[in-house]
Chain A
């Protein structure tokens, strides 16, 4: 059974005139357990919207998104939150670490809403991303690359089945971008988590088992739409 199965997914947003416009229309997408996929697309093409739909942050207007056989579109908001807390890891372009918290506490936050805090596992993760000696540092005391490594550790803290990474290297210099990417991929492999990594970097294809162009996947004709927060 596929880890993630998307069928007939449609997401609409209201246009300036008030009319509902399809921003995503994906007939089918399957992701196998442990698979690592690169999702490419231009800005505003709906990449983040797709990740948010998979994460249950936004709700599809039509279709089905099944994770481990459970259709998250049919779940209540509270159940979707629980699904996110237990089954998903999320890595953001801007890291989104909480400023008042140390590296260790930021990683622990990734566990707080799911199975509960396991401090030794959080420390192991920080060791694994090379920040074992930065556990007590707050985000403002870390470099950009270090912040992203904390974010990666946080995304894996709840032992997710699927990690969603939204332009995780977008704010890093090439060297750090490369290191981060390696780290995300190897940690996902070690933990048996599948990975959907969104990027518009054309040189990443060779690193992934499968590369998807959202423009080809999305049948709305909106994939090259300008701007927007999709």
Chain B
């Protein structure tokens, strides 16, 4: 019987305390990976879900609010801007594409976003990828009463091509605020993993002229999504100067993805709190291994003495104890990966449902190496004290 088999037996013999230790290590390992890997993935995914736009022009207000509203379809618009503003910036030489959007209505909680058909027709939401419709679908035209549902919105609402619906006023669903217009779903978008999946797209004039909306604002829009021409690196600085520093009516959120990164930076205190909690769990996991093996060592002096009497070397009993610590840590790390996968998948689903941003927690990340290695290291260090105790066990005193 080899040392690792004896160590495995030791773990199995104390199955309750071993299980608790394994769970503590698993919790610590999965938390380490979740706190670090998930944060990175969230930042990467949110920054990458900018829909292929470089900047957003909106009414005077917070850049973050403009980006959240314009690109992520979260939060409210800080106000309205004129159609002329859209036309003006669209003519700016460095602008490759400019798409106006208007918001203000919903269908059963799903936001309706008014835009021009060219947006869904010509724009690449990420490198070389245009929006695509599920088979049998069609885009709307400027004047039509047609709608294109994002994949998540269609799934959530249970709507498909040919279905009709009446929009509700406002961004929050209120069943008493129903509009009289009837829209027909003409298409459903293929999943894009961007916030475009969780909204319903209609012609911009539909939002602007919806019954009950202020006729005076019938040409107003909420924001303009901007894509710069390749190599037009200075465009952002020029427009920033023009709109943010010299002007006072509009705000240019540029670069769009940096705005969202800055948002993550602003809530970095949550990370710090989570990191502190994780550190505590790691300490508890390490302490748990130490306490369980140390106590077990007191109960197992006789067994160790018997093994020594049977010819086990001091280093053998030392190794057995250390292997027990490493074995529990290893099992904890494996369980930690499973917990991470499970929790990561669940969080990813929630995030995608709420924001449309597809997180992939299974993308390789440095924390997936250092967290398990770190936990094994802590298991090793925690196992040293009881292992030294096993090494020093006096055979003659503990043999009965």
Report A's interface with B, CB cutoff 8 A. Answer: 48-49, 52, 55, 57-58, 77-78, 81-82, 84-86, 88, 90, 92-94, 96, 98-101, 105, 108-110, 112-114, 117, 154, 158, 229
Partner of B399, one of A85, A96, A105: A96
B397 touches A84 (CB 8 A): no
Of the candidates B1, B12, B313, B315, which one forms a contact with A109 in the assembled complex, judged by CB atoms under 8 Å apart?
B1
Q: Which residues of A contact B6 (CB under 8 A)?
A: 112
Query: How extensive is the interface on chain B, given as a class?
Result: 20 to 34
**Given known contacts A52-B396, A96-B302, A96-B309, what 15 new A-B pairs fall within 8 Å (CB)?**
A77-B314, A78-B314, A78-B315, A81-B313, A94-B400, A96-B306, A98-B303, A98-B307, A99-B303, A105-B1, A108-B1, A110-B310, A112-B2, A112-B6, A117-B1
Interface class of chain B by DSSP: helix
With contacts A96-B302, A100-B9, A100-B12 known, is A109 near B307, CB below 8 A?
yes
User: Could you tell me if B314 and A114 are in contact, using CB atoms closer than 8 angstroms?
Assistant: no
A82 lies within 8 A of B311 (CB): yes
CB distance from A68 to the nearest CB of B (A): 16
Q: Is B73 an interface residue (CB 8 A)?
A: no
Chain A residues, Cβ within 8 Å of B312: 81, 85, 112-113
B395 interface residue, CB < 8 Å from A?
Answer: yes
Given A92-B400, A98-B303; A86-B311 close (CB under 8 Å): yes
Which residues from A are CB-within-8-Å of B306? 96, 98
B305's nearest neighbour on chain A, judged by CB, is: A96
B residues within 8 Å of A by Cβ? 1-2, 6, 9-10, 12-13, 302-303, 306-316, 395-397, 399-400
**Complex: chain B residue closest to A113, CB-CB:** B311
What residues of chain B lie closer than 8 Å to A49, measured between beta carbons?
A: 396
Could you tell me if A92 and B399 are in contact, using CB atoms closer than 8 angstroms?
Answer: yes
Q: Which residues of B contact A108 (CB under 8 A)?
A: 1
B313 touching A113, Cβ below 8 Å:
yes
Tell me the nearest residue of chain A to B400, going by C-beta: A94
Closest 4 CB pairs of A and B: A85-B311, A113-B311, A100-B13, A112-B1
> Which residues of chain B are near A109, meaning CB under 8 Å?
1, 307, 310
Query: Nearest B residue to A85 by beta-carbon distance?
Result: B311
A158 to B1, CA, bound (A): 13
A113 and B310 contacting across the interface, CB-CB below 8 Å: yes
User: Once bound together, how far apart are the Cα atoms of A78 and B316, in whole Å?
Assistant: 10
Q: Is there an interface contact between B311 and A114, defined as CB atoms closer than 8 Å? A: yes
User: What are 12 A-B residue pairs whose CB atoms fall within 8 Å in the complex?
Assistant: A49-B396, A81-B311, A84-B310, A90-B310, A92-B309, A92-B399, A96-B306, A98-B303, A101-B9, A109-B1, A113-B312, A229-B397
* Nearest opposing residue in chain A for B314, CB measure: A77
Establish whether residues A112 and B310, one from each chain, have CB atoms under 8 Å apart when the complex forms: yes
Chain B residues whose C-beta falls within 8 Å of the C-beta of A58 in the assembled complex: 396
A105-B306 Cα distance, complex, nearest whole Å: 14
CA distance A55 to B9 in the complex (A): 27
Question: Which residues from A are CB-within-8-Å of B12?
Answer: 100
